[in-house]
Amino acid sequence: MKASRILFALMLFGAPLLAQRGRGFNPGFRVDPVIEKIPYDGRFTLVRLSFTTNSPSGFYYRGLPAWAHGYPNSELNLMRILGEISALHPLLYKSTVIAPDDPQLFKYPVAYMAEADYWGMSDKEAECLRAYLRKGGFIIFDDFRDDGRDGFQGWATFTQQMKRVLPEGRVVDLTPANPIFHSFFDINSFDIVPQYYDRTRPIFRGIYQDNDPKKRLMVMINFNTDVSNFWEFSATGFQPVEASNEAYKMGVNFIVYALTH
């Protein structure tokens, strides 16, 4: 599949979605994203996890709550790419948002969370996420970091909340040799992974089932990077096509790995 064909398709459908996003960076107002409840119909989709934003600074991007940064363009564009290059026929043109304690979550094998540096969570939500992961669910954490807005506590906030979900879970650094980076595309070096705006290098970590590297990854952690920002804006020309393609490779690999392990 040629990159030009893929991105042309995104340009046709991406512009109306971008127009819905409202203003730019302005912490002085808040916007509740419009969420359409999508009944489950058996088709795959990357479900986005909502959560309580734990700080007023989490509304820095267009006044949206932290979980909604990039919604819905990021996952919708990724689903179009997945539909173009794989035999999977995902749900297109609609996005699903689910709270962690919603029983409907268990119908979706792969979930995505943005901005976990502002992740607020109840005990019930922690319990439900624990059950989801143990029953075969897979969560991708993306778009979070240590910076001044979160008091340089992004990683600390994530690990604190993750310990509530998986008290025994151990976060480990991943290398390009890990099977998740070869489940569809071969990603042999993290040097090819672009940075949209984050400084220094991206960090990829994970949590294995029973902390056993011979078992499946349950949690994929993209720290100090925003891979999904390339998905969100790939149709706009803000970044080189090659950079967006590398970010899509990462997303496709995450999903194919999750569905095959």
DSSP 213-248: TTS-EEEEEEESB-HHHHHHHTTTTSS-HHHHHHHH
pLDDT, residue 28, reads 57
27 and 57 Cβ atoms separated by less than 8 Å: yes
Q: Residue ranges per domain, the chain?
A: 3-260
Per-residue pLDDT tens listing for the chain (261 residues): 444 444 444 444 443 333 333 344 555 578 889 898 899 999 999 999 999 999 999 999 989 999 999 999 999 999 999 999 999 999 999 999 999 999 999 999 999 999 999 999 999 999 999 999 999 999 999 999 999 988 999 999 999 999 999 999 999 999 999 999 999 999 999 998 899 999 999 999 999 999 999 999 999 999 999 999 999 999 999 999 999 999 999 999 999 999 999
Q: Give residues with Cβ within 8 angstroms of 186, minimum separation 6.
A: none
pLDDT, residue 251, reads 98
Retrieve residue 33's tokens. 């994203």
- pTM of the full structure: 0.90
Burial class (CB in 10 A: 0-12, 13-18, 19+), 49: buried
Give the closest residue to 53 by CA, choosing from 35, 31, 85, 74. Answer: 31
If one counts every other C-beta atom within 10 angstroms of the C-beta of residue 145, the result is 23
62-to-14, 33, 48, 65 alpha-carbon distances in Å = 18, 10, 18, 9
Q: Give residues with Cβ within 8 angstroms of 108, minimum separation 6.
A: 40, 45, 47, 96, 98, 137
Residue-wise pLDDT for 34-84, tens only, equals 898 899 999 999 999 999 999 999 999 989 999 999 999 999 999 999 999
pLDDT, residue 29, reads 74
Retrieve residue 81's tokens. 């790419």
pLDDT > 70 in the chain, percent? 89
Burial class (CB in 10 A: 0-12, 13-18, 19+), 38: middle
241 and 189 Cβ atoms separated by less than 8 Å: no
Class of the CATH domain delimited by 3-260: alpha beta
Measured between its terminal Cα atoms, the distance across the chain in Å is: 26
Q: Scanning the structure block, which residue is given the tokens 């042309």?
A: 8
What distance in Å separates the CA atoms of residue 219 and residue 217, rounded to the nearest whole number? 6
